[in-house]
């Protein structure tokens, strides 16, 4: 089939390259001419495992091309995927749909009869119906369907090629048939396929993200109880997660979630639920958001306690800048929020990250950065582990101890091997875990 993918950011680039790789002819469209030129040369716009190789391969094959022209896209195909961003509005919690609306406004004058516009952007429920009325004013039998994406940064290529489910919100048999043909490769491999109405498809995405966010906030709320009770949240999470009705995934206690999806999606869902009068959902999601944001403050509070209640003049080494491992995305990064909060209180902060230093420098230019872990921690009074990159789990604790001023570590992700770090002389602390020795808070003068 011939397809267009409108919007060549994270979701659009991955979708376009994967669709071309399974045999479709794909034309990627974006208003950013510089990005289009880079993509046409086979260069991925983001760090995502496997994407660079996939993009280069599909561009070389000729099945994937790029343009800035919606008119050219309409001449090229009758099936158009909309993959532009829907960030949080600057004046509130609701999703900003300007980019989605701009695509529809630009595409409608060029649509050919029988065109299908397929939304993949995360939008408030009711958006597809509103856009459908606009698209219906174009050429005959033009329709809108909604096909939400469920990509995880760090495994987006795999998630697209081997989806856990495909959800399509359609209003006709023809739209359903088109999307079954688009995803035929995945369906033949056994991917579950859910045909719904557009409103349900829109809600599936935000409901899924809200549930995952609620699991994370739940275990972090339990971490605070564990601290007060002298219990260990890691052991609690393992035992709770062993229940097959609950499962262990997303029960990782620590600094909480960030990124471009979960925070803004639950806030946009809250705003839409409030508009619809679903007040119980509003209360639930507001609390999920509050607990998650509170984890950042709690991390700063514990770090402050570990340096005798005052960051002024303290040297802090920070391990991690991206909001999660496997990505260079620093949007709403908990790690950078904590680093900046400590620096605002007078600390000298130096941040390391395996992939996200350029993104972090652009987002938070006032922080210090280091290309080498040991340089980031040199003469540090405290080291914070804020992003759970596998590289940090493979560090030599003894070698790192040799460069710091105090072997004092706050593992805000509960991901490092406690015994090996303690054996190397480190005093390790974490959210939701009791202190093993009261003397740990009096290391080299720290009380």
Please list the active-site residues: 261
Q: Please state the separation of Cα 330 from the chain's center in Å.
A: 9
- State how far the Cα of 447 lies from the Cα of 441, in Å rounded to an integer: 5
Helix locations, 136-261, DSSP H? 156-161, 173-182, 184-188, 198-229, 233-241
Q: Are 202 and 146 in contact (CB under 8 A)?
A: yes
- State how far the Cα of 80 lies from the Cα of 4, in Å rounded to an integer: 5
- State how far the Cα of 28 lies from the Cα of 16, in Å rounded to an integer: 7
- Which residues neighbour 38 within 8 Å (Cβ) at sequence distance 6 or greater? 45
Residue length, the chain? 447
Sheet of 427-429: strands edge to edge? Answer: 368-369, 348-352, 315-319, 382-385, 408-411, 427-429
SS3 94: coil
How buried is 205 (Cβ within 10 angstroms: 0-12 exposed, 13-18 middle, 19+ buried)? buried
Q: Which residues of 2-17 are buried (b: 16+ CB within 10 A; e: fewer)?
A: ebbbbbbbbbbbbbbb
Helix locations, 315-434, DSSP H? 334-344, 357-363, 373-376, 390-393, 397-401, 418-423
- State how far the Cα of 319 lies from the Cα of 353, in Å rounded to an integer: 6
SS3 257: coil
Report the candidate in 305, 221, 323 with the shortest Cα–Cα distance to residue 264: 323
Q: Are 309 and 319 in contact (CB under 8 A)?
A: no
Q: Are 332 and 259 in contact (CB under 8 A)?
A: yes
CB atoms within 10 A of CB 118: 26
């Amino acid at each position: 089939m011939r397809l267009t993918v409108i919007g060549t950011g994270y979701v659009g680039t991955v979708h376009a390259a994967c669709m071309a790789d399974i045999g479709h002819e794909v034309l990627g469209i974006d208003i950013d001419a510089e990005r289009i030129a880079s993509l046409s040369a086979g260069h991925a716009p983001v760090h995502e495992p496997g994407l660079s190789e996939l993009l280069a391969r599909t561009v070389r094959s000729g099945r994937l091309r790029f343009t800035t022209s919606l008119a050219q896209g309409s001449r090229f195909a009758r099936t158009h995927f909309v993959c532009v961003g829907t960030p949080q509005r600057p004046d509130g919690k609701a999703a900003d749909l300007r980019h989605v609306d701009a695509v529809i406004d630009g595409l409608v004058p060029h649509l050919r009869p029988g065109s299908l516009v397929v939304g993949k952007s995360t939008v408030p429920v009711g958006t597809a119906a509103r856009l459908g009325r606009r698209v219906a004013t174009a050429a005959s039998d033009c329709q809108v369907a909604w096909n939400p994406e469920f990509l995880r940064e760090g495994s987006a290529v795999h998630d697209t090629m081997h989806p856990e489910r495909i959800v399509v919100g359609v209003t006709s048999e023809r739209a359903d048939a088109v999307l079954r043909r688009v995803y035929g490769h995945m369906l033949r491999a056994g991917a579950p396929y859910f045909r719904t109405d557009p409103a349900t498809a829109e809600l599936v995405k935000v409901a899924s993200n809200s549930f995952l966010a609620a699991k994370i906030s739940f275990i972090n709320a339990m971490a605070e109880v564990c601290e007060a009770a002298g219990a260990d949240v890691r052991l609690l999470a393992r035992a709770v997660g062993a229940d097959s009705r609950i499962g262990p995934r997303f029960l990782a206690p620590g600094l909480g979630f960030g990124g471009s999806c979960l925070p803004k999606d639950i806030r946009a869902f809250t705003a839409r639920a409030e508009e619809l009068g679903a007040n119980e959902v509003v209360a639930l999601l507001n609390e999920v958001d509050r607990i998650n944001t509170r984890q950042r403050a709690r991390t700063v509070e514990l770090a402050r306690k570990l340096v005798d209640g005052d960051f002024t003049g303290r040297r802090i080494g920070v391990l991690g800048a991206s909001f999660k491992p496997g990505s260079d995305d620093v949007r709403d990064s908990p790690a950078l929020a904590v680093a900046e909060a400590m620096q605002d209180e007078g600390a000298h902060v130096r941040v390391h990250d395996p992939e996200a230093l350029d993104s972090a420098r652009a987002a938070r230019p006032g922080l210090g950065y280091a290309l080498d872990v040991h340089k980031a921690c040199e003469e540090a009074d405290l080291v914070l582990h804020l992003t759970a990159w596998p590289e940090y789990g493979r560090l030599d604790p003894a070698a790192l101890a040799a460069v710091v001023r105090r072997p004092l570590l706050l593992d805000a992700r509960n991901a490092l091997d406690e015994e090996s770090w303690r054996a190397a002389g480190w005093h390790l602390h974490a959210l939701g875990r009791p202190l093993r020795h009261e003397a740990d808070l009096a290391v080299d003068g720290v009380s």
